[in-house]
Structure 1
Amino acid sequence: MHEFIAKHENHIAGVLSGFDRLVFRGTLRSISWAEGMNHYLHANDVLLKDFGTHVERVSQRLKQASLAGAECTARPIQYLPSAGTSKEEIARGIALQDHIESGLICVLKAVEPCWTFDVYRNREAKKLELQLRRRQCLFLYHYWMHPTLGFLHARIQTWFPFSIQVCLNGREWLARQMDRAGLKYQRQGNCFPWIKDWDKAQRLMNRQVEANWPKLLGAIAKQLNPIHEEIFQAHPVNYYWSTYQSEWAIDVVFGQAHVLRELYPRLLRHGMTTFWQRRRHAVFGPPSAAQRASAQALSGRSSQRSQTARRGYSHQTPAQRQLGQTL
């Protein structure tokens, strides 16, 4: 990529490199296994025969506390019966309709698979045992216009062990940074076609790497479950944060459309001749029936040329196939 940018630097208006989509998972590790959950029950004087009653009561308290903020501010709370419904589209539609620029947008409820605990009667040992099982429970999805991070969502599992997932976007975050810095820009979806000072924008984006993630994510977790400390007063536990998905994107903006228009066929050809078939389908989607028929009709004329191209690439090292050297 560095070679590509250097080769076309006279036509490039700006470059942005940084976080795109980020997904974090919060886990209460000490109670995420059966023995650890037994320690919690012991600390709260809960016998296994009373397990169901106890966890149901705690779950109801968590739901009420998590939804209280939406109820107090009259934000929508909506149950989604289908897993195929796009939660983000619903949330963005509500934000647009209600002109939400900061704060809670809505809370969406959905029943989804989860890992949780159940009591098992061990007939051989003649005793009750706690087991971790795959079941389904209610998840609460909170959507916000975060003052620092922009549009994001976080969800919490309403059954023990109350796992959390937070999804945010580095470009959303950058837009908020530029707003605070008074840096003018134009935005289209997740891209910035124009920024007044690209170098300053990159410096702002570089600060994202230095974020205090436990503090930032911990504040979001507190909003998901305001009674966390109360629930775990007798057996204190804290969330352990891990990265589930991390995307790093490099945006290259050309100053003139015709330059990119001329370069685009070469970019496309490079991708088609170097990517694996499965990867091409992931990017462009599977070919239609008409495209397959056209490909079959042209296969005879192009087979010899394709063989030559494949032989040529077979003798190249991965470094020689880099974008900058090819284009």
Structure 2
Amino acid sequence: MPNVAEIIREHVTLDVKCVDRLYLNGYIPRLQSEGGVVAFLRQAGARAVPSPAIFGTITDAFKARLRAWCERRQIPWIDFPKGERKDDIVQKYRDRFPAASGVVLVGVAQERAWGWASSKTQRGRWVHFTWRRKSVCVNHYYIYVLDPEWGPAFIKVCGYAPYALKLCLNGHEWAKRQLRHRRIRFTALDNGFLDCADPAALHEICHRLDARDVEAFFTRWLARLPLPLTAAQQAAGFPYRLSILQMEVSRTQVFDRPVRGREFFEEIIRDNLDLGRPSRVQLLFTRRITRATPGRFQTRVVTHGVAPSVHVEYKRCHIKQYFKEERALRTETTFNDTYDFGVGRGLSNFRYLRTLGQHINTRLLETEQTAHDCGLARAQLADLVLPTHTATGLPAPALKFGQPRAMALLGALCRFACAPEGVTNGRLRPVVAQLLGVPDGAYTARHMGYDLRRLVRKGLLGRVPGRLCYSLTPLGRRVALFLTKVHARVLRPGLQMLDTHIVAQAPPRLRTLFIALDAATDSLIEEARLAA
């Protein structure tokens, strides 16, 4: 069976990097604060007292206006049954939709949202309202559209103040539309691509997608659809603005044969389950993690029936690898909170998040390939296990293969294989102690400091400029994975098989062959009359 590196290098026919699902929030900035709400109500009601009844009037008027707009255009209006998948219901209407673009249907569902609630205080003729955020269950209006540039999408409008919108778009569908405009042939793979007559043009199109295309969609439909706030109210200082709620950045690698995808996941699953690590292991990103950092940091291998998937979690960010439609490997990073990476939710961060997501996807794939193509040359192995000197003459103590402390150190580095930076004394030491099977206090910071110097001088770690931490070098990643694999998969089980004190109902084949070799060697010595 080919390894992961060979599968990716030799059996991928199309490699597509593209933004996948985009879930955006449309909000009115001035309606996010109590002062803005008061100013809006005074302006909308032309009264000194900002009465909450104005919001009720706007809500009722919006529903009536949207319903009448749909009736004039013969657009279906449905109430979504509770518990049923909306996409399954809408797809039947999409299949029958006759036009190339337009509104397919409007669906209504009751869902929870954060809205404004008021408290009234009255003293004689003096009346005052205070406002607070409250979770309310209100009508949401799903407007499903076919857009000339984005294809299938929907806009969800909350019918309650502050009248938030949600937009759901898909970058792969946008790319398909651009290919059709250029008359470039392709075969779809669900919401991806199975093949393309011009892969270079597809790459250029996917790379060209940016925030301006999203804004163009938003502007186009704001002008066409009835919304809770009229155009005049929006122009009077209450316009909508977009922010990123969720963004999926994907890389899809199409295999020449479906069997290659299954082979890929067999190897990946094996690495996550038997390389001396538990089924859930820590995976570090470029962000610093401390004990106070909320969220989970782990890798999971999930096998639902015969469709395995790998899930990596960092705070609220999620990476998923799965076998798409039995033809392609989809590696997908989902940003659920952009603040996990130190940037705001503004649409201006679209390009940065796309680049970051592709960097994460690539780093994960490179680590998986290195894990399966990590052999060392004889000279590299000799430099590692023997005492040497650095180019500046500093002594580099040996890392002796098989020595418990050296193997625990290399095994601990495997936990940081996906971390381009951020290996510190404090983070690495408890992992080494755990693999040694000793209390944290028995493997001290002084011991860790000595081992870190060894790793740096052997070229396995590099110092991060301006920070008190190290990054795992490409050589370090290769050495850690190779020697840990040899120790965990060859040396340790091999010696166990050869141990005659371990009783086995059926002796391992290696033990049987070794006993036969031992007997043949004894016979040869006896025939040579060399026995004592």
* Higher RCO, Cα 8 Å, sep 6+: 1
Aligned match of 1:237: 238
Distance of aligned partners of 1:156 and 1:272 in 2 relative to their CA distance in 1, 3 Å threshold: farther
Sequence identity of aligned pairs in percent?
18
Aligned match of 1:192: 193
Distance of aligned partners of 1:212 and 1:197 in 2 relative to their CA distance in 1, 3 Å threshold: closer
- Whether the 8 Å contact between 1:142 and 1:224 is mirrored in structure 2 is no
1:36 aligns with 2:36: yes
Structure 1 CA distance, aligned partners of 2:267 and 2:105?
Answer: 45
Q: Which digits, 9 at most, give the CA deviation of each residue in 1:107-132, with x for residues without a partner? A: 10011112222331247997422313
Alpha-carbon shift at residue 30 of structure 1 (Å): 0.4
Distance of aligned partners of 1:320 and 1:204 in 2 relative to their CA distance in 1, 3 Å threshold: closer
- Whether the 8 Å contact between 2:41 and 2:51 is mirrored in structure 1 is no
Aligned match of 1:304: none
- Whether the 8 Å contact between 1:183 and 1:196 is mirrored in structure 2 is yes
Structure 2 CA distance, aligned partners of 1:117 and 1:8?
Answer: 53
Q: Which digits, 9 at most, give the CA deviation of each residue in 1:84-112, with x for residues without a partner? A: 22112211121114456421111100111
Aligned match of 2:181: 180
Structure 1 CA distance, aligned partners of 2:99 and 2:273?
Answer: 42
Structure 1 CA distance, aligned partners of 2:231 and 2:68?
Answer: 16
SS in 2 for 1:319: coil
- Whether the 8 Å contact between 2:158 and 2:164 is mirrored in structure 1 is yes
Structure 2 CA distance, aligned partners of 1:320 and 1:226?
Answer: 46
- What are the equivalent positions in structure 2 for 1:87-236 lying under 5 Å apart? 87-98=86-97, 101-122=100-121, 127-132=127-132, 133-209=134-210, 211-226=212-227, 228-230=229-231, 232=233, 235-236=236-237
SS in 1 for 2:60: helix
SS in 2 for 1:316: helix
Alpha-carbon shift at residue 259 of structure 1 (Å): 3.7
Q: Which digits, 9 at most, give the CA deviation of each residue in 1:39-72, with x for residues without a partner? A: 11222313547431x2222212222333444322
Alpha-carbon shift at residue 26 of structure 1 (Å): 0.8
Rg (Cα) greater in structure: 2
- Whether the 8 Å contact between 2:42 and 2:50 is mirrored in structure 1 is no
Q: Which digits, 9 at most, give the CA deviation of each residue in 1:238-288, with x for residues without a partner? A: 11210000010000112234444443411332355676287537x5469xx
Aligned match of 1:316: 414
Alpha-carbon shift at residue 210 of structure 1 (Å): 5.5
- What are the equivalent positions in structure 2 for 1:252-271 lying under 5 Å apart? 252-271=253-272
Distance of aligned partners of 1:46 and 1:157 in 2 relative to their CA distance in 1, 3 Å threshold: farther
Distance of aligned partners of 1:276 and 1:214 in 2 relative to their CA distance in 1, 3 Å threshold: same
SS in 1 for 2:61: helix
User: Match for 1:93: what amino acid?
Assistant: K
User: Match for 2:241: what amino acid?
Assistant: Y
Most deviating of 123-132 and 251-260? 123-132
Q: Which runs of 5+ in 1 are unaligned?
A: 287-309
- Whether the 8 Å contact between 1:55 and 1:159 is mirrored in structure 2 is yes
SS in 1 for 2:162: coil
SS in 2 for 1:175: helix
1:64 aligns with 2:64: yes
- Whether the 8 Å contact between 1:119 and 1:129 is mirrored in structure 2 is yes
1:55 aligns with 2:75: no
Aligned residues: 297
Distance of aligned partners of 1:17 and 1:25 in 2 relative to their CA distance in 1, 3 Å threshold: same
Structure 2 CA distance, aligned partners of 1:233 and 1:250?
Answer: 39
Distance of aligned partners of 1:210 and 1:127 in 2 relative to their CA distance in 1, 3 Å threshold: closer
Alpha-carbon shift at residue 198 of structure 1 (Å): 1.4
Structure 2 CA distance, aligned partners of 1:236 and 1:12?
Answer: 52
- Whether the 8 Å contact between 1:272 and 1:280 is mirrored in structure 2 is no
Q: Which runs of 5+ in 2 are unaligned?
A: 282-297, 306-406, 421-476, 483-532
Structure 1 CA distance, aligned partners of 2:235 and 2:199?
Answer: 52
Structure 2 CA distance, aligned partners of 1:5 and 1:102?
Answer: 43
How large is the Cα RMSD of the aligned pairs?
A: 3.3
1:280 aligns with 2:300: yes
Aligned match of 1:249: 250
SS in 1 for 2:417: helix
TM-score normalised per structure 2: 0.50
Q: Which digits, 9 at most, give the CA deviation of each residue in 1:209-250, with x for residues without a partner? A: 263433332323344435744451684311121000001000
Aligned match of 1:297: none
User: Match for 1:318: what amino acid?
Assistant: F
Structure 2 CA distance, aligned partners of 1:234 and 1:191?
Answer: 39
Distance of aligned partners of 1:231 and 1:210 in 2 relative to their CA distance in 1, 3 Å threshold: closer
SS in 2 for 1:161: coil
Structure 2 CA distance, aligned partners of 1:145 and 1:5?
Answer: 40
Structure 2 CA distance, aligned partners of 1:243 and 1:161?
Answer: 18
User: Match for 1:66: what amino acid?
Assistant: L
Structure 2 CA distance, aligned partners of 1:272 and 1:55?
Answer: 56
SS in 2 for 1:63: helix
Q: Which digits, 9 at most, give the CA deviation of each residue in 1:168-223, with x for residues without a partner? A: 11111111111111111111312311112212111111111263433332323344
Structure 2 CA distance, aligned partners of 1:108 and 1:184?
Answer: 34
- Whether the 8 Å contact between 2:38 and 2:50 is mirrored in structure 1 is no
Structure 2 CA distance, aligned partners of 1:79 and 1:314?
Answer: 55
- Please state which structure has a larger fraction of its residues in helix: 1
